[in-house]
Amino acid sequence: MKPRIYVTQPIPEKVFQLLAPIAKLEINPDAEHIPTKHELLEGVHRNDILFSRLSDVIDADVIRINPDLKLIASMAIVPSAIDVPEATARGIPISTVPPLTTEVTADLNWALMLAVARNVVPADRAVRRGFFPGGQSMCFLGTGMAGKTLGILGLGLIGEAVARRAGGFGMKLLYHKRSRLAPGKEKEIQAEFVPFEELLRRSDFLSVNIASTGETHHMIGARELRLMKPDAYLVNTARGKIIDEKALVVALRSGVIAGAGLDVYEHEPAVDPGLIELDTVVLTPHLGSATLQVREAMGAVVVENIIAVIEGRRPPNICNPEIYS
């Protein structure tokens, strides 16, 4: 008898073709709908394996609803929305995916930076409503990138990918992270290490690419925003909880900084209404990995993990390997 898999949102056709021959699939068909807790409980209760996404909150209630749950196959790199201790205590493996999103997230990082600096979104809205002020008007004046200073908070894989793209704009690179890079690596990237407060003060564009931990929660709040230049821009494609969203709204309204580009939010999928009201912010709904090629690659890894469990093997990408000890 084929195992039953609950898939919380639609998957690419290539991934479906990999799963369909080996399992009976129950798929939420609506890509615009994040399953509610009630829907998660029902779906997990009816199936043997859960194929979940980053936005799915898999808490203890969801895990306990099915004593025979064989696997939580997450398409996230870090299972931050899953109660890992509860699953581990029940001997349920949690599989994840490797960091396949580095380059496309860096692309989006730059898309947000360019869009907010050059007023792309309000200009687009204006054209659509019939307003065209001419090619040399004083409307929609933005900020150029060339020669500016880009500060990167957290120079990991994505931070490095963001830094590499800065070379094409002739930008000066600053960075701050907990552990300074080796001199050879700094020279390769052409980035200068500076203390956190200096990074805030000197950056024309501040890119947040640090991991979300207890230590980085609200790392950028009202005090930190006041240290930034009034014509500086803040971009976040990491995690929403790194920035105090309420403080950011106040800073943007009062002109403490010039603008922001956000792909992640403190309480997503909810977005602070204050952000939505502002033309100085570009907002995207957590699109970091949203290319078909990357989603196919991530889905293929999830399938590998599922097949391993079906065949009685340890999944290759497991975050709680102690259950096999």
Strand, helix or coil for residue 228: coil
User: Residues 26, 39, 103, 268: which is the catalytic one?
Assistant: 268
239 is catalytic: yes
Q: Token digits for 61?
A: 């209630």
45 is catalytic: no
Distance between CA 162 and CA 208 in Å, rounded?
A: 10
Distances in Å between the Cα of 123 and the Cα atoms of 120, 132, 254 are 5, 9, 22
267 is catalytic: no
- Please state the φ and ψ torsions of residue 310, each to the nearest 5 degrees: -60, -40
Beta strands in the chain (DSSP E): 4-7, 24-27, 49-52, 71-74, 94-95, 149-153, 172-176, 191-193, 205-208, 233-236, 259-262, 281-283
Distances in Å between the Cα of 192 and the Cα atoms of 152, 168, 199, 225 are 10, 17, 10, 21
Distance between CA 84 and CA 322 in Å, rounded?
A: 12
User: Residues 53, 202, 286, 295: which is the catalytic one?
Assistant: 286
* CA–CA–CA angle 32, 33, 35 (5° rounding): 155
User: Residues 176, 202, 239, 295: which is the catalytic one?
Assistant: 239
Residue in 78, 77, 141 with CA at minimum distance from that of residue 280: 141
Active site (catalytic) residues: 239, 268, 286
